[in-house]
Structure 1
Amino acid sequence: MSLGWTGILASHCKLVQSQSGRSFCRWISSAVQRGSNYAELNQADVAAFTDILGSGGVVQDETALDAANEDWMGKYKGNSKLLLRPKTTQQTSDILKHCNDRRLAVVPQGGNSGLVGGSVPLFDEVIVSFASMKRILSLDKVNGALTCQAGSTLQELDDHAREHGFLMPLDLGAKGSCQAGGFVSTNAGGLRFLRYGSLHGSVLGLEAVLADGTILNSMQTLPKDNTGYDLKQLFIGAEGTLGLITAVAIRCPFASTSTNLAYLACESYEAVTEVYRRARRELGEILSAFEFLDRQALELTKQHLENVKDPLPSTNTQFYLVVETSGSNAEHDMAKLEGFLTDAMEEGLIADGTIAQDTGQAQGIWGLREGISVALRHAGATYKYDLSLPPPALYTMVEVMRQRLSHHDVRVVGYGHLGDSNLHLNISSADWKEEVRKEIEPFVYEWTAEHGGSISAEHGLGQMKPECIRYSKSPEMVGMMHRVKDLFDPNHILNPYKLLPQRTQ
């Protein structure tokens, strides 16, 4: 048995739904036009915002605006002339009331770490940044309810929670920059989804400001409250199109006192899915993460990130797993994990593996997994797709796309959260090529729909694919979403051109 128990470690594009409805989605660079119902910013508006925020909260500096107008991937770029930084919920309310009265379009911005262009303007929308609203308000040391303003970063929140024996129920590669309002507005998933589930379950309450300035305060921290409609759920995943989240209350679980991390090599995807099935059954209550990456993802990351080390440099298998357990009894948890891995290896499901022996080795393994997206950015142009598929079909999508693009000089990479049925499909090319894009879309969406999947597992729709929502939602569902939007934001000033498709006349 060779299991190493000692351990080692761009262009701006839009999608347009055709008249054939669900069956076709094509890419046109100038499809979305600036709404004629929106006013243009003037000096009287700037003066009004200065009265609300003071001069320090009104940003017109070109350098600062350049950074806020573009997403971190350099894929989407707007032309906003004004960025506002409120410090309080009341200031946010006053801003939106003025914008609604004047019909000035608004885009909320947190850490700007999204992948679908949801936090940057398309045109000249006013940017409302929550960078100045980052106070942690309280932490209930009995039930773990943490309350904070929208600008608090995930890293700050997790650090604060851990000081008191808790942890945040989600973990993202962008935890140093992503903010509470942003990750709640996008219903971010991440590495801990398998253990702690969606933010729809973890968010106990929130505070949001509607387009007309109305403040909705639902900041109760009670785990159970069965009184009427649970309106806060509408803002979770709404991408800022219904209201701007200014504060949240999140239930934090107790931090585990025993955490183990294994890095495993498998020869086939069938072996990967069987290891996952057995992990759910045999590791049960201590299984906290189950990630996978293929050989192409590993090689690309090693090529472009100097600080990444291969935990199993002597193996050459096609698939690798990152399996984490979190419990409260170190001896029991390690024995359970070792027993599970030994049996899986003896049955030929695992070709090799290692268990991290300290925090540094664990961070190295997670650094490899989380570094894939960064490495892809260094590799050149990337066509990124975030899909949810039944596990049997999940990697088939990668193989089908690899065959479909075999005559192009591209690298098709597959990785993601297998425990959440979430595939990150990435096609890497030295340069952006429209002919490659045409062979990917709409095929990738059609194939996903045909196999019972969703075109967005956790990244959202943003400005990348609102017109393709019909691949995952029925016309009746989309119609009801439009009606909800009309109710909360009748003038459609909040994050326009995002999430929902343009209405047909």
Structure 2
Amino acid sequence: MSLRESVTQSSSRINSGVNVSATPAALYNLHTQSSPHNTDKWQSTESRYNVQRGKFSAVSEYDLKFFQELLGPHRTVLGEKELEGHNTDWLCTVRGESSVLLKPKTTEEVSTILSYCNQHQLAVCPQGGNTGMVGGSVPVFDEVILSTALMNQVESVDTWSGVVTCQAGCVLQTLDQHVAQYGLMIPLDLGAKGSCHIGGNISTNAGGLRVLRYGSLHGSVLGVEAVLASGEVVDCLSSLKKDNTGYDLKHLFIGSEGTLGIVTRVAINCPHRPAAVSVAFLGLQSFEDVLSTYKIVRHQLGEILSSCEFMDKSTLDCVEKNLKLTSPINKYPFYLLLETSGSNGDHDEEKLNKFLELTFDLGLVKDGTVATEPSKVANIWRLRERIIEAFKLDGCAYTYDISLPLPSFYKVVEDLGQTLHPDVLSVTGAGHIGDGNIHFTVTSKEFNQEIVESIEPAVYEWTSKVNGSISAEHGLGFLKRNYIHYSKSPSAVKLMKQIKALMDPNGILNPYKVLPD
């Protein structure tokens, strides 16, 4: 459909990301097949990053016997081959050496495991779908991996208030499909939706494609049940929209990346599923035109706008080259992907057409296409949601998730791109311009520590100078923990350490993550 043709009503947004089986092993297999690296040559996290192991106990035969008696042999996974995908993050940047993976089904089993590990000084790495980007979901050394994969029950859907209550191991896409039966939707959308777990999303305060419309998980999550390092269960599983009694403790667990407690059950506020969805893919000549267009987007499409995504030409070129996907419009330096969703297709069509005519007449948008048919909507979204997969096929991707003021949004790519190591293949920018979150990505044929040193800490220093955040939605994990001071004051970091010491005095929960050495 051309830019000036009418927009017709669409039924629903179709999943268009990488639909991978919801297991870390599947992710591992997918990316080792597409990587030129020999997995035998991958360095462990310990050797690559020169980190020292904490004073934790090693797993003994006595410990294994306890776990097997509690869970049975099939839910106590042993063996290097079986654990390979759980020890390695999907970007292949960190690799732990755990020898045991536990798969509880209930909060009570999680409580028993943590109580035992705390008493015996065994470090624990909580793991959901293992789709994290900063090394937060895999062990650094030989921590016990506690997987939520079998904690995947949807407990209830309150259709009156629009609240779903479920276990933490529910896969995001599966959970969204479940509530869709009731005309609802999960207010979170990620490219990894076919693999990531809702508990992991909450533990990292994942952002994704819908923050512009529905806000962060700090607003959408109504209640959380979590297990502390001691094994004590903290029940904050309220499903009320308003509960102003004392400290709102659930926020301690949202975004703490499993360092304060393991999320086991959640209650989430679910908006009504839109009846009409449209997607526009636009080509623009300059970043100044992108900013001017975005300003008009917010004014003209405000109440129906659900996503506003950005990518540069280098990003789209990589997606087309490595994934054999095709852009629906001609080549331009910059692109915007807009999604509108509402209850009245005619109303949304009229607003979208007026917006397109205005930006076209002003010379801001040079070319564009609009899709409402589900298959065409899916094809356009693939160009955005499969970006990281495309980058990884170059060999090695170094991706940095940062928040920036909009005037500085793309300047990070322009400034830092001139200072990087000569072995770099590409320097690109893409992300959620609607909430100021850019994914600054550099690729090379293989991992090169000199490239890392040419990027870090320069990217964090640059971000700090413009009052941005070094982590917009992926968390700090292992890779960013020692750069926290670029975004948080010494007093804030000190208080975080005090909270950690209070809630996990032995430091067994996801050690080496979030807080600096």
Fold conserved (TM > 0.5)? yes
Is the CA contact 2:76–2:103 (under 8 Å) kept in the aligned structure 1?
yes
Contact 1:13 1:464 in 2 (8 A): no
1:179 paired residue number: 197
Matches within 5 A, 1:59-458: 59-306=77-324, 308-312=325-329, 315-405=330-420, 407-458=422-473
Shift of 1:220: 1.2
Counterpart contact for 1:113–1:174, Cα < 8 Å: yes
Unpaired stretches in structure 1, ≥5 consecutive residues: 16-27
The percentage of aligned residue pairs carrying the same residue is 50
Q: 1:432 to 1:117 in 2, by over 3 A?
A: same
Provide the aligned length of Structure 1 versus Structure 2.
Answer: 486
Question: Hey, what's the Cα distance between the residues in 2 that align with 1:200 and 1:409?
Answer: 37
Alignment partner of 1:3 is 2:10: no
User: Aligned equivalents of 2:365 and 2:44: distance in 1?
Assistant: 42
Distance apart, 1:318 and its partner CA: 0.3
The secondary structure found in structure 1 opposite 2:141 is coil
The Cα shift of 1:67 comes to 1.5
Q: 1:12, CA displacement in angstroms? A: 5.5
The reply on whether 1:470 has 2:488 as its aligned counterpart is no
Cα distance in structure 2, aligned partners of 1:438 and 1:501: 18
> How many angstroms does 1:5 deviate by?
3.1
Give a deviation string over 1:343-397, Cα, whole Å, max 9, x none: 1110001001110030000000101111111000111111110010000001000
Contact 1:191 1:289 in 2 (8 A): yes
Q: Judging changes above 3 Å, is the alpha-carbon distance between structure 1 residues 261 and 237 closer, same or farther for their aligned structure 2 residues?
A: same
Offset of 1:405 from its aligned partner? 2.8
Which whole-Å CA distance do the structure 2 matches of 1:33 and 1:4 have between them?
A: 61
Matched residue, 2:25? none
Task: Tell me, yes or no, if the aligned pair for 2:312 and 2:428 is still in contact at 8 Å.
Answer: yes
SS in 1 for 2:206: coil
- What letter is aligned with 2:378? Q
TM-score (norm 2): 0.91
> In the alignment, which residue of structure 2 is the partner of 1:493?
508
1:429 Cα deviation (Å)?
A: 1.2
The offset of 1:437, in angstroms, is: 1.9
Secondary structure of 1:446's aligned partner: helix
Contact 1:6–1:357 at 8 Å: present in 2 too?
Answer: no
Cα distance in structure 2, aligned partners of 1:47 and 1:369: 47
List alignment gaps of at least 5 residues for structure 2.
8-36
Structure 1 residue 126 displacement after superposition: 0.3
Alpha-carbon deviation of 1:14? 7.5
SS at match of 1:5: coil
Return the offset for 1:484.
Answer: 0.4
Query: Matched residues in 1 for 2:422 and 2:146: separation?
Result: 45
Alignment partners' CA distance in 2, 1:418 and 1:481: 29
Letter in 2 for 1:35: G
Q: Secondary structure at the match of 2:393?
A: helix
For normalisation by structure 1, the TM-score amounts to 0.93
SS of equivalent to 1:165: coil
Equivalent position SS for 2:493? helix
**Counterparts of 1:58 and 1:385, CA distance in 2:** 35
Distance in 1 separating the partners of 2:370 and 2:421? 36
Which residue number corresponds to residue 54 of structure 2? 35
